[in-house]
Structure 1
Amino acid sequence: MFCYQCEQADRTGEMLGCAGPLGNCGKDPATADLQDVLIHAVKGIAQYATRARALGAPDEEAAPFILYAVFTTLTNVNFNPTRFVALIQQAAAVRDRVRARYEDAARARGQQPEQLTGPARWEPAADLDGLLRQAPSYRVDAGLGAVGPDVVGLRSLHLYAIKGICAYSYHAHVLGQQNDDVSAGVEEALAYLAEQPTETEELLARAVGLGRLNLTVMEMLDAANTGTFGPQQPTAVRTTPVAGKAILVSGHDLRDLAALLEQTKDTGVNVYTHGEMLPAHAYPLLKAYPHLVGNYGGAWQDQQREFTKFPGPILMTSNCIIEPYPAYRRRIFTTGPVGWPGVRHLADRDFSALIKAAQAMPGFRADEPEERFITVGFGRDALLSVADKVTDAVRQGAIRHFFLVGGCDGPTVGREYYRDFALGAPDDSVVMTLGCAKYRFNGHDFGEIDGIPRLLDLGQCNDAFSAVKIAQALAGAFECGLDELPLTLALSWTEQKAVAVLLSLLALGFRNIHLGPSLPVYLTPGLVAALVDTFGLRTIGDPAIDVAAALERSAS
Structure 2
Amino acid sequence: MYCSQCEQTAGGEACYQWGACGKSPEVDALQDLLTHLLRGLGQVAIAARKYGIINRQADRFTCETLFSTLTNVNFDPESFVQYIHQAIALRDGLKAQLQAVAPEVCFPEGPATLQPAPTLDQLVQQGRDIEYGFISKAAKNVDIFSLKLTIIYGLKGIAAYAYHAQELGQEDDRLYAFCHEALAGLDSVDLTLEDWVKIALKVGEINLLAMELLDSGNTGNYGHPVPTRVPLGTQPGKAILVSGHDLKDLEELLKQTANQGISVYTHGEMLPAHGYPGLKQKYPHLYGHYGTAWQNQTREFAKFPGAIVMTTNCLMPPHNTYIDRVFTCGPVGWPGLTHIENRDFSPAIACSLSMPGFTDNGDPRQVTTGFARNAVLGVADEVIAAVKRGDIRHFFLVGGCDGAKPSRNYYTEFVEKVPEDCVVLTLACGKFRFFDKELGDIGGIPRLMDVGQCNDAYSAVQITLALANAFGVGVNELPLSMILSWYEQKAVSILLTLFHLGIKNIRLGPTLPAFISPNVFQLLSQTYNLKEIGTPEEDLAACLGTSVQADA
Normalising to structure 2: TM-score of the pair? 0.97
Q: Please list, as runs of the form range in 1=range in 2, the aligned pairs for 1:186-265 lying within 5 A after superposition.
A: 186-195=179-188, 199-265=192-258
Amino acid at match of 1:341: P
Amino acid at match of 1:23: G
Amino acid at match of 2:7: E
Indicate yes or no: 2:106 matched with 1:75.
Answer: no
What residue is the counterpart of 1:131 in the other structure?
123
Among 431, 440, 445, the alignment partner of 2:433 is 440
Q: Please list, as runs of the form range in 1=range in 2, the aligned pairs for 1:89-488 lying within 5 A after superposition.
A: 89-106=85-102, 112-139=104-131, 142-144=135-137, 147-195=140-188, 199-288=192-281, 289-368=283-362, 370-488=363-481
Pairwise CA distance, 1:198: 5.0
Pairwise CA distance, 1:26: 0.5
Amino acid at match of 1:337: P
Judged with a 3 Å threshold, the aligned counterparts in structure 2 of structure 1 residues 420 and 520 are, in CA distance, closer, same or farther, namely same
What residue is the counterpart of 1:503 in the other structure?
496
Amino acid at match of 1:124: P
- Give, in whole Å, the separation in 1 of the partners of 2:408 and 2:140: 34
- Give, in whole Å, the separation in 1 of the partners of 2:498 and 2:210: 13
Q: Given that residues 269 and 428 in structure 2 are in contact (C-alpha distance below 8 angstroms), is that contact kept between their aligned partners in structure 1?
A: yes
- Give, in whole Å, the separation in 2 of the partners of 1:214 and 1:525: 25
Pairwise CA distance, 1:67: 0.6
Q: Given that residues 119 and 194 in structure 1 are in contact (C-alpha distance below 8 angstroms), is that contact kept between their aligned partners in structure 2?
A: no
- Give, in whole Å, the separation in 2 of the partners of 1:51 and 1:317: 34
Pairwise CA distance, 1:167: 0.5
What residue is the counterpart of 2:550 in the other structure?
none
Indicate yes or no: 2:3 matched with 1:3.
Answer: yes
- Give, in whole Å, the separation in 2 of the partners of 1:524 and 1:310: 42
- Give, in whole Å, the separation in 2 of the partners of 1:399 and 1:196: 51
Pairwise CA distance, 1:122: 1.4
Judged with a 3 Å threshold, the aligned counterparts in structure 2 of structure 1 residues 459 and 450 are, in CA distance, closer, same or farther, namely same
Indicate yes or no: 2:524 matched with 1:531.
Answer: yes
Pairwise CA distance, 1:534: 1.5
Pairwise CA distance, 1:552: 1.0
Judged with a 3 Å threshold, the aligned counterparts in structure 2 of structure 1 residues 350 and 145 are, in CA distance, closer, same or farther, namely closer
Amino acid at match of 2:385: D
Pairwise CA distance, 1:62: 0.7
- Give, in whole Å, the separation in 1 of the partners of 2:81 and 2:138: 29
Q: Given that residues 240 and 264 in structure 2 are in contact (C-alpha distance below 8 angstroms), is that contact kept between their aligned partners in structure 1?
A: yes
Indicate yes or no: 2:11 matched with 1:19.
Answer: no
What residue is the counterpart of 1:51 in the other structure?
47
Q: Given that residues 52 and 105 in structure 1 are in contact (C-alpha distance below 8 angstroms), is that contact kept between their aligned partners in structure 2?
A: no
Q: Given that residues 423 and 447 in structure 2 are in contact (C-alpha distance below 8 angstroms), is that contact kept between their aligned partners in structure 1?
A: yes
Pairwise CA distance, 1:116: 3.4
Give the 3-state SS of the residue equivalent to 1:116 in structure 2. coil
**Identity, % of aligned positions:** 49
Pairwise CA distance, 1:137: 2.7
Report which stretch shifted further, 337-346 or 148-157: 148-157
Give the 3-state SS of the residue equivalent to 2:10 in structure 1. coil
Among 56, 81, 84, the alignment partner of 1:85 is 81
- Give, in whole Å, the separation in 2 of the partners of 1:372 and 1:450: 23
Indicate yes or no: 2:536 matched with 1:540.
Answer: no
Amino acid at match of 1:176: G
Deviations 1:417-453 (A, max 9, x none): 1111112111111100000000001111010011000
Give the 3-state SS of the residue equivalent to 2:11 in structure 1. coil
Report which stretch shifted further, 420-429 or 433-442: 420-429
Amino acid at match of 1:9: T
Amino acid at match of 1:102: L
Pairwise CA distance, 1:118: 2.3
Deviations 1:337-382 (A, max 9, x none): 10001111111100001001000000001222x5110000000011
Q: Given that residues 57 and 105 in structure 1 are in contact (C-alpha distance below 8 angstroms), is that contact kept between their aligned partners in structure 2?
A: no
Report which stretch shifted further, 416-425 or 311-320: 416-425
Give the unaligned 5+ runs of structure 1. none
Q: Given that residues 138 and 144 in structure 2 are in contact (C-alpha distance below 8 angstroms), is that contact kept between their aligned partners in structure 1?
A: no
Give the 3-state SS of the residue equivalent to 1:119 in structure 2. coil
Q: Given that residues 75 and 319 in structure 1 are in contact (C-alpha distance below 8 angstroms), is that contact kept between their aligned partners in structure 2?
A: yes
Judged with a 3 Å threshold, the aligned counterparts in structure 2 of structure 1 residues 197 and 91 are, in CA distance, closer, same or farther, namely farther
Pairwise CA distance, 1:553: 8.5
Judged with a 3 Å threshold, the aligned counterparts in structure 2 of structure 1 residues 194 and 98 are, in CA distance, closer, same or farther, namely farther
- Give, in whole Å, the separation in 2 of the partners of 1:322 and 1:274: 14
Judged with a 3 Å threshold, the aligned counterparts in structure 2 of structure 1 residues 117 and 396 are, in CA distance, closer, same or farther, namely farther
- Give, in whole Å, the separation in 1 of the partners of 2:48 and 2:522: 39
Q: Given that residues 46 and 187 in structure 1 are in contact (C-alpha distance below 8 angstroms), is that contact kept between their aligned partners in structure 2?
A: yes
Judged with a 3 Å threshold, the aligned counterparts in structure 2 of structure 1 residues 144 and 115 are, in CA distance, closer, same or farther, namely closer
Deviations 1:80-116 (A, max 9, x none): 0011011001101111112122223435xxxx31433
Q: Given that residues 49 and 102 in structure 1 are in contact (C-alpha distance below 8 angstroms), is that contact kept between their aligned partners in structure 2?
A: no
Report which stretch shifted further, 143-152 or 455-464: 143-152
Deviations 1:289-311 (A, max 9, x none): 11111000000000000000001
- Give, in whole Å, the separation in 2 of the partners of 1:258 and 1:18: 37
Amino acid at match of 1:153: S
- Give, in whole Å, the separation in 1 of the partners of 2:326 and 2:6: 24
Query: May I ask how many residue pairs the two structures share in their alignment?
Result: 545
- Give, in whole Å, the separation in 2 of the partners of 1:456 and 1:535: 26
- Give, in whole Å, the separation in 1 of the partners of 2:57 and 2:66: 15
